[in-house]
Amino acid sequence: MVCDCAQPWPPPGQLKHDEDEDEEKDEDAVAPQRAILAGQHFHLYLIGYGLFRFAHEFLRATPRVGPGFTGYQVAALAVAALGVSGFIRRAKIHRRSVAS
């Protein structure tokens, strides 16, 4: 089969693809999406990571400081606390912007 590049595209008699129809179909098919916990994903990550790391450190043989906790557990709780404070602060800001 040899390509005849002199032929017009699309071949005569064949309809062109209508892009306007596709755009209308796409607009109808896509429902507006509401962001779940918009702007809070990083804070949720910090909370989850801090809690996981705190629990995981009980399985490791690291020196204990203070009342039976390791330095890593103290740091993990600080990370989780930082995530909680950021989550609360961002939630207050979001409530104010929605109310106004």
Residue 48 is predicted with a pLDDT of 97
Rounded to whole angstroms, the Cα distance separating 9 from 7 reads 6
**Local confidence band at 38 (pLDDT 50, 70, 90 cut-offs):** confident
Handedness of CA 73, 77, 80, 82 (dihedral sign): negative
> Angle, to 10 degrees, between the axis of helix 41-56 and the axis of helix 71-99?
160
pLDDT single digits (tens) 74-85: 999 999 999 999
Global pTM reads 0.62
For residue 35 the two structure tokens come to 């962001």
Among all chains, which residue has been given the structure tokens 């309809």?
15
Domain boundaries defined on the chain:
32-99
CB-count burial class (<10 Å; 0-12, 13-18, 19+) for 75: middle
100 has a pLDDT exceeding 60: yes
Question: For residue 1, is pLDDT > 60?
Answer: no
DSSP 3: -
pLDDT tens for 39-96 read 889 999 999 999 999 999 989 888 888 788 999 999 999 999 999 999 999 999 888 8
Side chain identity, residue 41: H
